[in-house]
Amino acid sequence: MKQGDLKSIAEASEALGVTQRTLRFYEDKGLIQPGRVGSMRVYSRREMGRMQLIMRGKRLGFSIREIGEFLSLYDGESGTIGQMQHLKSRINERLVELKEHHKAIEQTIRELEQMDREAQERIEAEAGRSN
């Protein structure tokens, strides 16, 4: 790997939009393994890509353990059909959860809009009586 492909922890955190503490956290969890130049951590393209997958997984609501499983599949370390089916199963479970949340949010919005209309009608009715 060329030296220009490596980023310091400060450069990596800035490029990824996370804190240096966040990078150290994921390193402690074994999800990334930055190299070392002396005592300084250096992040390769691979580690930067892994961090992007980690952040995507977190954004999608997956646990650290699940993200670790996904990363091992992306690395091709043990991408058996059974593991891919497990990944697909977790993705489908998450989709069901999110769709249920979406329905609940839509229902809440409809109810709030109805309450808002009713409140506005009462305001207008009271204003008409006091004039």
Statement: residue 65 has pLDDT above 80 = yes
Residue 8 has pLDDT above 80, yes or no: yes
Distance CA 37, CA 41 (A): 7
- Percentage of the chain with pLDDT > 70? 92
Is pLDDT at 9 greater than 90 in this prediction?
yes
Question: What is the pLDDT confidence band of residue 35, given thresholds at 50, 70 and 90?
Answer: very high
Return the axis-axis angle of helices 9-16 and 45-59, rounded to nearest 10°: 40
The answer, yes or no, to whether residue 39 has pLDDT greater than 80, is yes
Mean pLDDT confidence for 4-32: 93
| Domain ranges, ordered by start, for the chain | 1-79, 84-131
Q: Report the CATH architecture of 1-79.
A: Orthogonal Bundle (1.10)
Burial (CB count <10 Å: 0-12, 13-18, 19+), residue 27: middle
Give pLDDT, residue 1. 43
11 band by pLDDT with thresholds 50, 70 and 90: very high
